[in-house]
Structure 1
Amino acid sequence: MATTGARPAAPAGPQHEALSSASLAASLLRRTAVLLLTLVVSTAVLVAAWYLLLELLDVDPFVGKRPADVYEYLVRDEDAAANREEILSLLATTLAHSTTGFVAGLAGALAVASLFTLLRPLEFAFMPLAMLLRSVPLVAMAPLIGSISGRGLAGAATIGGIVVFFPVLVNTALGLRSASPQAVDLVRVNGGSRLTALRKVALPSALPNLFAAVRISVPGAVIGAMLYEWLFSGTGLGAEIFRANSQVQYSKLWAIVVVVTFSTIVLYTLVSVLETLVLARWGPDAGRR
């Protein structure tokens, strides 16, 4: 008589792995398409809101330039090529300053959040102090920061880094604390150190929080760089936007605002795409199971 029972599962082979890879690639493609569509829709909404707001408030066209005016300045005007070259050159300087501040703030926040996780008393002692410093307006601290760090890259790293440091610190510390206690205990029982538990469990579990903080910090890094340029270096879009305003060059002023805003949206979208790729590799529940 034939025996009945559960049929053993077939081992996963190359075909199964190829199917999983194809499914993952299709999911990434869909998410990336959604992000790019969001970029296009956001740009269209901003342009429409810009035009409607100026019309509703009846702002003088000499001061409040419309989308068509900026397009004329950057694309169709006889000096459009020179205008684009100047603004893009200034944008490159601002993005370099933004990157310096962003990297400095991100590295500092990750280091401090990791220390808070390894040595919990440090978090209880210094997190309230960090939040107190965060409440001080950056403009009020900027002269002191400039006198200490100078006008070079150290100044850009300090001012931009402060803008990035606090949101990344708070969100990353929260993410590190969300690691599964069972997973941490498993690492410790098998001879792993606190540093091993941090690397294998806590950091992967903090990835969603970390990327959320990074998305918030990208526009902040640009703002910090422009503040540094306005107050100290006299270079980049941060200084040029105030020069254009004082010289009544309103077309250039609005063009700078448009370029900065669009660049920030693009950077935000790129971070979102990177987040999708990383979380597809690690999973949103990495380190928690």
Structure 2
Amino acid sequence: MAVVTALRPRSIARTETAPRARRTIPPLPAAARPIVWGPTVVALVLVGLAWQAVAAGNPYILPRLPAVGTAFLADPLLFVSNAWATLQIALLGLVYGFGVAFVLAVLTSEFTLLRRAIMPLASVLNVTPVVALAPGLVVAFGFGMAPKVIVTAIITFFPVLANVSTGLRSVQGPVLDVFHTLQASRLEVLRRLRIPSAMPYTIAALRVTLPLSVVGAVVAEFVAAGSSTGLGTVIKTSAANSQLAQMYAAIGCLALLGVLMLAVITAFERRLLFWHESQQRRR
């Protein structure tokens, strides 16, 4: 028996004596790793400490953070209702601005003459101060929501047009040659090749325009006459009455609103563009 054991190959002996493989623990998601959220927390703490230091010596410039929290908790319904009014304007303006810009981007990518006619006009609209257009829009459309939605749509229009048109025209030549070899129609090339290829550019435009729509809504509430709701109106009224704590509480609500919108588009990007190289690198 001892002779048989001695004649066994070493590999078999090692296999029998090898310990069982340990179960591998799946890695934590990126958001749960301290290396990801730790620097953000440290930066927020440092900003809070600097805020408190400045507010202690300059109470007429910055209120203390506890005072801002107290102003919010004193009437949270005021901030929530006005945040909803601002969000409505922002989303409506984004929908109209995005829709018109996307259609024009498709048309300008297909027709060169149309691109040469529209892009200069879009550039002129982009560099025109939208604050100067607001009084005329109020005269034309009244004191309701329409002028604010139009102002927001104008602010969000050009980033979508520029990004989507670039994405539609950035199709690789060899892939386009394959579609031409298969005698694909212009509509098929657009639907099956150009629009999918432009999706990363479209999501990038949304990452810019979603928070920007909140800025556009607040600007519209600042400059549009007859505005009675919205966080922009709360900020304007609080500043006029020297209620700094209430004003910064409204600004904090705007910042939180922008962060939430950015988080939504980031989650949507990861779900929609899971195949793209940028998402593969994040994993």
Give aligned pairs, total. 249
Contact 1:208–1:284 (CA<8 Å) still a contact in 2? no
Question: 2:4: which partner in 1?
Answer: none
Residue 202 in 1 paired to residue 200 in 2?
no
**Residue 241 of structure 2 corresponds to residue 247 of structure 1:** yes
What corresponds to 2:43 in structure 1?
45
**The one of 266, 269, 273 aligned to 1:275:** 269
Q: Structure 2: 5+ residue runs without aligned partners? A: 1-25, 279-283
> What TM-score do the two structures reach when normalised by structure 1?
0.77
Given the superposition, is the C-alpha separation of residues 53 and 86 from structure 1 closer, same or farther in structure 2, using an over 3 Å criterion? closer
Q: Kindly indicate whether residue 156 of structure 2 is the aligned counterpart of residue 158 of structure 1.
A: no
The one-letter code sitting in structure 2 at the alignment partner of 1:106 is: F
Find the counterpart in structure 1 of residue 115 from structure 2.
123
Q: Tell me the residue number matched to 2:252.
A: 258
Counterpart CA distance in 2 for 1:207 and 1:244 is 42
Cα deviation for residue 49 of structure 1 reads: 2.4
**Pair 44,203 (structure 1): closer, same or farther in 2 beyond 3 Å:** farther
Distance 1:113 1:46, change over 3 A: farther
What residue in structure 1 maps to residue 210 of structure 2? 218
Q: Offset of 1:101 from its aligned partner? A: 0.5
Q: Which amino acid aligns with 2:272?
A: V
CA contact (8 A) 1:160 1:221 kept: yes
Q: What is the identity percentage for the equivalent residue pairs of Structure 1 and Structure 2?
A: 29
Q: How far did 1:274 drift?
A: 0.8
| Aligned equivalent of 2:63 | 65
2:268 alignment partner AA: L
Matched, 1:172 2:170: no
CA RMSD of aligned residues (A): 2.6
Which residue matches 1:133?
125
Structure 1 pair 69/43, CA: closer, same or farther in 2 (3 Å)?
A: farther
Q: TM-score, normalised by structure 2?
A: 0.78
Give the direction of change, closer, same or farther, for the CA distance of 1:262–1:43 in structure 2 (3 Å limit).
farther
Q: Structure 1 residue 185: deviation in Å?
A: 3.0
Between structure 1 and structure 2, the one with the greater Rg is 2
In the alignment, which residue of structure 2 is the partner of 1:20?
Answer: none
1:224 Cα deviation after fit = 1.1
Q: How many Å separate the matches in 2 of 1:197 and 1:134?
A: 30
